[in-house]
Amino acid sequence: EVQLVASGGDLVKPGGSLRLSCAASGFTFSNAWISWVRQSPGKGLEWVGRIKSKSAGGTTDYAAPQTGSFTISRHDSKNTVYLYMNSLKTEDTAVYYCTTEGAAGIDYWGQGTLVTVSS
Amino acid sequence: QSALTQPRSVSGSPGQSVTISCTGTSSDVGGYNFVSWYHQHAGKAPKLIIYSVTKRPSGVPDRLSGSKSGNTASLTISGLRAEDEGDYHCCSYAGPQSFGYVFGTGTKVTVL
């Protein structure tokens, strides 16, 4: 069974930084592309960015608003992906989900971790 | 990239059918057959119910069906049941502008 457990969400002040983790199990992690998707309170979903498998180059893509302030990395021996968020703004307040990305798009979702940016 | 447009809410009685639209542009919905739909119960993570416009993952009942015409994708739920309540989100590949995805504004389905 595919499991994705996101953690690291917290209350942080504007301008601060935070690192989220996504621990995966139930599939061959090294072959997986992982995307982060967020959901602001009472709002829709927003794609944040992805990291490809090492065999596909291990490169990252980001949504335009996150380019430069968010960084995604992976540690295949720990079956874990990280989302580093810098220069956080109040509008970054959201539940952050890690997901797997198959050939046809985003498929499995983890349970999400809440990030609150507030002074 | 602007969010795809969905109706804010739809409702129906048990046994009825409802259809949710998802309107984008030729750069996303209209340009690729990579439209997915997700069902989200309150406080839970979304779950994939349709991918590649019309395909259902294993375990998803055939009461749920997807289609696309031009820049608009649609999800139809036939034989509405209480467990169909919740939020539904469409999603499309957004092409080489970001190589990512754009989601819809979300639709709340209520079973009367």
Map B41-106 to HEC letters.
Answer: CCCCCCEEEEECCCECCCCCCCCEEEEEECCEEEEEECCCCHHHCEEEEEEEECHHHCCCEEEECC
Predicted pLDDT of residue B67: 98
Predicted pLDDT of residue B87: 96
- Choose among B1, B45, B100: nearest Cβ to A109: B45
Is it the case that residue B1 has pLDDT exceeding 80? no
Nearest CA to A109 out of A30, A26, A2, A20 is that of A2
Nearest residue in chain B measured CA to CA from A64: B98
Candidates B37, B48, B56: best to mutate against A (most CBs of A within 10 A) is B48
Predicted pLDDT of residue B91: 98
Nearest residue in chain B measured CA to CA from A4: B45
Residue B20 CA to residue B66 CA, distance in Å, equals 10
Task: Please compute the mean of the pLDDT values over residues B33-62 and round it to a whole number.
Answer: 96
Residue A113 CA to residue A20 CA, distance in Å, equals 8
Higher pLDDT, B99 or A81: A81
Is it the case that residue B98 has pLDDT exceeding 90? no
- 8 Å CB contact between A51 and A27: no
Predicted pLDDT of residue B104: 97
Nearest residue in chain B measured CA to CA from A63: B98
Residue A97: which pLDDT band, with cuts at 50, 70 and 90?
Answer: very high
Contacts of A46 in chain B (CB under 8 A): 3, 103
Contacts of B89 in chain A (CB under 8 A): 44-45
Interface A-B: count of C-beta contacts within 8 A = 68
Nearest residue in chain A measured CA to CA from B5: A44
Residue B99: which pLDDT band, with cuts at 50, 70 and 90?
Answer: confident
Q: Chain B contact for A97, CB < 8 A?
A: yes
Predicted pLDDT of residue B96: 79
Task: Please compute the mean of the pLDDT values over residues A68-72 and round it to a whole number.
Answer: 93
Residue A36: which pLDDT band, with cuts at 50, 70 and 90?
Answer: very high
Residue A67: which pLDDT band, with cuts at 50, 70 and 90?
Answer: confident
In whole numbers, what is the pLDDT of chain A averaged over residues?
95
Q: Chain B contact for A46, CB < 8 A?
A: yes
Q: Which residues contact A2 (CB under 8 A, 6 or more apart)?
A: A24, A25, A26, A27, A100, A108
Task: Please compute the mean of the pLDDT values over residues B50-63 and round it to a whole number.
Answer: 96
With an 8 Å Cβ cutoff, are A107 and B104 in contact? no
Q: Chain B contact for A50, CB < 8 A?
A: yes
Residue A81 CA to residue A96 CA, distance in Å, equals 13
Is it the case that residue B42 has pLDDT exceeding 80? yes
- Choose among B3, B48, B52: nearest Cβ to A44: B3
Is it the case that residue B57 has pLDDT exceeding 90? yes
